[in-house]
């Protein structure tokens, strides 16, 4: 019974991590840890065949295809590979082959750490691209694949049909730039280049994929009509002549000794190449011998993947520093005694957050074991406690921001601590991007790239400087990408934003936990910024949907000196500071009523419907609950309509809604 319990737990763990890796592109454990789980399950299922199951993750490949993309049934199954983790296991695998076939010619290749795809060409033209999925059914990613410049759209040899398999990957330099940008914009930071590549290829908007600078290596001909090959290397040479970037650094090896030598050489190279690899692949070179050896339901019998364990080294944590990211997140950082690992010298390692530091009990002066996660990112594996110096105290996150001195907060549902300073230098870019965004001041023409240009050239240093750009018109026109007309359009958009409603300004200030709806409540309850700044906790708590967290966030934000300085700078620039919600109120007919909008509304957009509701005293919510009074539903209404029906919430259409308004007006 204990064996059955372990098998069940392993299957559940593997399914869980499989989904995170293949479908969500958000792994929680390393490839090496995942492979160890899978290997243990395979061992138990071999030893106890009574507990084998056709639904076990050991007999399936990868993850399920996502619902966002149309499904592709592969003409040729995209199989996985048998993994081995030591020279002994590799030798054992190769000896079994040579017992059947004698001395064999092999090809060794780098195992690129990316997302596996199939490319199909008809009459020399790229017709379709798909992900591996579960090996039988994948996702159609043709539009996104076309954005990868290294993939030929047309071949010089017009075969009736050709299918090749490759690995889409992201270079380390591109990965570092992408994560830096994601951090700046307050968006998802990727765990490693493999998941960044997978997440980028599976974007619903191909233009986003195009921005991610993906690459590909082709490593196999899956099938072809009109041409035959004798060996794998012959097919790779032909693919290269057709313009495909083929698997680099492959070697032809005869016999087991040469294979072991090549595997060691690939292992030594992995720290010096510009992309991630997670092992070496050893394949039989002869294609006719491959056919004789055959395949199982999951893996070919003629190939194996050798997985390298992460290289680990000892070093000393000289100091624990705290960095403030551009979203205000405080991240502990270990300053290390420099040590060479996986091809480069490491002197720092991220410690993620204070929970991570506490869990591993990392202290300044500790001797630690480090490795590179995915051979890229240095991480602390464990502390060698017996080498700890006497008197070393535990790490404590600072209470005040090391960059600007504002209070640091950590909310109950977050692992991260954050700076609350509105003008914190470390958060400058993120504040600028948010300030000009559509829901905030809505300054057209001031996207992230333009803001970067203005910052880099010293035309702005913070949000208040946006309103001084008119005085720098001549300098603006000289910047890359600017002409007289574009500069005039930008300056007009900046000028127009000065008259925005108060709720837009409150949203733009970026107060933590205060979104668009909470900003509207503040502008509805108070006549000006000045009244909000002097509001008591009791007044704030009395607002609809305001709890202690929201009230405290507003109170502490406006009590900071840097907030007062920013407000005065914006006031001096002519930015509106007063509420106009009461002036724009047409009636009170919907006062106290909460609406949820769903589907495509005839005769009006959702934004227009929201404005009408608010102008008659009503509220708009994003989700249906028992507190919802009406669901305004148009065509193609989705799950919100279903939930409304289940809860007994009244559902109305656009005509009934307008009758409700007109009846009161008439």
> Which tens digits make up the pLDDT trace of 18-59?
777 665 656 667 666 777 788 888 888 888 777 777 667 776
Whether residue 362 is predicted with pLDDT greater than 90 in this model: the reply is yes
Q: Which of 13, 39, 47, 111 is catalytic?
A: 111
Note whether 449 and 507 are same-domain residues. Answer: yes
% of the chain residues with pLDDT over 90:
48
In a domain, 613, yes or no: yes
> Which tens digits make up the pLDDT trace of 264-322?
999 888 878 888 888 999 999 999 999 999 998 889 999 999 998 877 889 999 999 99
Note whether 137 and 167 are same-domain residues. Answer: yes
Model pLDDT, residue 276 = 83
Buried b / exposed e along 76-102 (16+ C-beta atoms within 10 A): eebbbbebbbeeebbeebbeebeeeee
Domain that holds residue 25: 2-59
Q: Which has the higher per-residue pLDDT, 227 or 485?
A: 227
Note whether 378 and 456 are same-domain residues. Answer: no
Listed residue (158, 150, 122, 130) closest to 72, CA to CA: 130
| Active-site residue flag, 111 | yes
CB 132 within 8 A of CB 61: yes
Note whether 140 and 28 are same-domain residues. Answer: no
Mean pLDDT of 524-539: 92
State the average pLDDT for the chain.
87
CA–CA dist 286, 104 (Å, integer): 9
Confidence of residue 1 (pLDDT cuts 50, 70, 90): very low
Strands 377-383 and 367-373: antiparallel
Contacts of residue 228, defined as CB under 8 A and 6 or more positions apart, other chains included, come to none
Listed residue (551, 555, 567, 321) closest to 423, CA to CA: 567
In a domain, 537, yes or no: yes
Of 15-24, 110-119, 268-277, 601-610, minimum mean pLDDT range? 15-24
Model pLDDT, residue 665 = 44
Note whether 568 and 516 are same-domain residues. Answer: yes
CA–CA dist 262, 246 (Å, integer): 18
**Residue 488 CB neighbours (<10 A):** 13
CA–CA dist 14, 27 (Å, integer): 12
Farthest-apart Cα atoms in the chain, separation: 95
Model pLDDT, residue 519 = 92
Note whether 107 and 202 are same-domain residues. Answer: yes
Note whether 555 and 653 are same-domain residues. Answer: no
Question: What CATH number is attached to the domain comprising 370?
Answer: 2.40.50.140
CA–CA dist 328, 419 (Å, integer): 5
Note whether 504 and 559 are same-domain residues. Answer: yes
Whether residue 10 is predicted with pLDDT greater than 50 in this model: the reply is yes
Listed residue (39, 21, 216) closest to 116, CA to CA: 216
Note whether 222 and 165 are same-domain residues. Answer: yes
Model pLDDT, residue 352 = 86
Q: Sheet holding 251-254: strands in order across?
A: 82-84, 303-306, 277-284, 105-112, 251-254
Note whether 297 and 335 are same-domain residues. Answer: no
pTM (2 d.p.): 0.61
Whether residue 506 is predicted with pLDDT greater than 70 in this model: the reply is yes
Burial class from Cβ neighbours inside 10 Å (0-12, 13-18, 19+) for residue 156 reads exposed
Confidence of residue 526 (pLDDT cuts 50, 70, 90): very high
Whether residue 65 is predicted with pLDDT greater than 50 in this model: the reply is no
- Per the structure, the count of domains in the chain is 5
Confidence of residue 513 (pLDDT cuts 50, 70, 90): confident
């Amino acid at each position: 019974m204990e064996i059955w319990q372990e098998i069940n737990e392993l299957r559940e763990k593997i399914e869980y991590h499989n989904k995170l890796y293949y479908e969500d592109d958000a792994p929680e454990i390393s490839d090496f840890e995942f492979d160890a789980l899978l290997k243990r399950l395979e061992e138990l299922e071999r030893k106890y065949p009574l507990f084998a199951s056709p639904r076990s993750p050991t007999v399936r490949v990868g993850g399920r295809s996502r619902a966002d993309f149309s499904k592709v049934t592969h003409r040729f199954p995209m199989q996985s590979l048998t993994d081995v983790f030591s020279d002994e296991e590799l030798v054992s695998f190769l000896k079994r082959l040579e017992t059947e076939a004698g001395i064999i010619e092999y090809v060794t290749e780098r195992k690129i750490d990316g997302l596996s795809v199939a490319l199909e060409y008809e009459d020399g033209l790229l017709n379709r691209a798909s992900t591996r999925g579960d090996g039988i059914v994948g996702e159609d990613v043709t539009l996104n694949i076309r954005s990868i410049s290294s993939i030929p759209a047309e071949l010089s040899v017009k075969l009736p049909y050709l299918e090749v398999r490759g690995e889409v990957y992201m270079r380390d330099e591109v990965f570092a730039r992408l994560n830096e940008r994601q951090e700046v914009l307050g968006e998802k930071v990727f765990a490693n280049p493999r998941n960044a590549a997978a997440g980028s290829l599976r974007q619903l908007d191909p233009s986003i994929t195009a921005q991610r600078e993906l690459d590909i290596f082709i490593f196999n001909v899956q099938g072809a009509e009109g041409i035959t090959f004798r060996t794998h290397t012959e097919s790779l040479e032909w693919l290269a002549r057709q313009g495909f970037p083929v698997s680099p650094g492959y070697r032809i090896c005869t016999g087991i000794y040469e294979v072991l030598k090549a595997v060691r050489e690939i292992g030594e190279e992995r720290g010096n190449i510009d992309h991630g690899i997670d092992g070496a692949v050893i394949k039989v070179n002869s294609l006719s011998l491959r056919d004789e050896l055959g395949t199982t339901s999951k893996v070919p019998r003629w190939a194996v993947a050798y997985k390298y364990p992460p290289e680990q080294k000892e070093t000393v944590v000289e100091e624990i520093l705290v960095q403030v990211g551009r979203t205000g997140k405080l991240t502990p950082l270990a300053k290390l005694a420099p040590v060479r690992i996986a091809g480069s010298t490491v002197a720092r390692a991220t410690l993620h957050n204070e929970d991570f530091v506490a869990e591993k009990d990392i202290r300044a002066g500790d001797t630690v074991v480090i490795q590179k996660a995915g051979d890229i990112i240095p991480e602390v594996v464990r502390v060698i406690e017996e080498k700890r110096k006497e008197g070393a105290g535990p790490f404590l996150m600072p209470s005040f921001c090391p960059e600007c001195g504002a209070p640091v907060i950590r909310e109950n549902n977050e692992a991260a601590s954050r700076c609350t300073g509105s003008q914190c230098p470390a958060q400058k870019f993120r504040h600028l991007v948010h300030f000009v965004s559509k829901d905030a001041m809505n300054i057209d023409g001031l996207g992230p790239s333009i803001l970067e240009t203005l910052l880099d050239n010293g035309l702005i240093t913070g949000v208040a400087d946006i309103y001084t750009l008119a005085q720098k018109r001549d300098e603006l026109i000289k910047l890359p990408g600017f002409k007289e007309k574009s500069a005039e359009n930008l300056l007009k958009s900046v000028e127009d934003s000065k008259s925005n409603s108060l709720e837009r300004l409150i949203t733009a200030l970026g107060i933590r936990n205060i979104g668009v709806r909470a900003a509207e409540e503040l502008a509805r309850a108070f006549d000006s910024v000045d009244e909000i700044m002097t509001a008591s906790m009791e007044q704030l708590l009395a607002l609809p949907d305001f709890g202690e967290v929201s009230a405290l966030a507003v109170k502490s934000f406006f009590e900071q000196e840097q907030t007062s300085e920013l407000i005065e700078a914006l006031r001096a620039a002519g930015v509106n500071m007063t509420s106009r919600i009461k002036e724009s109120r047409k009636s009170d007919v919907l006062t106290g009523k909460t609406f949820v909008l769903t589907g495509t509304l005839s005769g009006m957009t959702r934004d227009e419907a929201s404005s009408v509701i608010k102008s008659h005293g009503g509220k708009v919510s994003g989700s249906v609950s028992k507190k919802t009074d009406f669901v305004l539903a148009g065509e193609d209404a989705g799950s919100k309509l279903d939930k409304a029906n289940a809860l007994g919430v009244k559902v109305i259409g656009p005509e009934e809604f307008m009758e409700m308004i007109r009846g009161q007006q008439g």
